[in-house]
Amino acid sequence: MNTQHNRGDFNVIASWIKPGERVLDLGCGDGALLRRLIDERGARGYGIELENAAMLCALENGINVIQTDLEQGLAGFGDGTFDHVVLSRTLQTVLHTENVLKEMLRVGTEAVVSFPNFAYWKNRLAVMNGRMPVSEDLPFEWFNTPNLRFFTLLDFESVCEHLGIAIRERQVLDEAGSLVDEEANFLGSLAVYRIGRDWLISRFDQFLHFHPQGLGFFDLPL
């Protein structure tokens, strides 16, 4: 769900895409990010967009757009099909958060995820004052928001650790779209992460997959 305003995260994302990369943009909206990656980086891009009007815009923008639910769309792609899988300002709208993150790193070598930081100081202040926050990066009222999940930089980093996802790079932006250097979880309104598979932990996952009972050490008579 790419909103039309303030796409400061696009600059960050574009800086992480190398020329000629294969990119999948989940919830590509009107295709503005992909258009930019294709024009500036020569990316070979595909977008997934479910909504009719946005899908048509992306088509008009010359995007290879695939109209389907993003979770279904991911399931059909083979391992390592893309260099980068992008999920821009959409993770907070996804129901099966863990599955989508895992799937993104199955079909992509790396993933790029941006999301609004619920712990941004203005959001904290709004809650302190007894109201749910509405801001540049959380532009909806509580009753009409498509957002299902409210989380912070620390929350995201914690789920990454839990899933064996390695954080390769992080850029945090304020509401004006300027980079935030310090106290990111307090001063940052929008976070952009470049993530990959943690080699050691993903090997451990595979090990558990093939040996669901472990090696049975604890079953040995002592």
Partner 1 sequence: MSSPVGADDTPLNNNVGAVASKRVQFSAPLQLQSGAILPAFDLAVETYGTLNAAKSNAILVCHALSGHQHVAGFRADNANDIGWWDNIVGAGRPLDTDKYFIVGLNNLGGCHGSSGPSSINAASGKPWGADFPVVTVSDWVAAQARLADTFGIDAWAAVIGGSLGGMQALQWTLDFPQRVRGALVIAAAPKLSAENIAFNDVARQAILTDPDFHGGHYYAHNVVPLRGLRLARMLGHITYLSDDQMAEKFGRRTRAGAGSYGFDVEFEVESYLRHQGDKFAGVFDANTYLRMTKALDYFDPAAEFDDDLAAALARATAQFLIVSFTTDWRFPPARSREMVNALVKNGQPVVYSEIECAHGHDSFLMDDAHYHAVVRSFLKRVGT
Binding mask of the shown chain, residues 58 to 97, with x at each position contacting partner 1 by CB under 8 A: -xx-x-xxxxx---x---xxx--x----------------
50: which strand partners? none
User: Cβ 120 to partner 1, closest distance in Å?
Assistant: 36
Taking residue 59's Cβ as centre, other Cβ atoms within 10 Å add up to: 16
Residue 52 binds to partner 1 (criterion: CB under 8 A): yes
Taking residue 22's Cβ as centre, other Cβ atoms within 10 Å add up to: 17
User: Cβ 42 to partner 1, closest distance in Å?
Assistant: 13
CA dist 187 and 199 (Å) reads 32
User: Cβ 201 to partner 1, closest distance in Å?
Assistant: 27
Nearest Cα residue to 26 out of 49, 42, 57:
49
Q: Which of 26, 43, 55, 153 binds partner 1 (CB under 8 A)?
A: 55
Residue 44 binds to partner 1 (criterion: CB under 8 A): yes
Nearer to partner 1, 12 or 34 (CB): 34
Query: Residue 205: is it exposed, middle or buried by C-beta count within 10 angstroms (0-12/13-18/19+)?
Result: middle
Nearer to partner 1, 60 or 141 (CB): 60
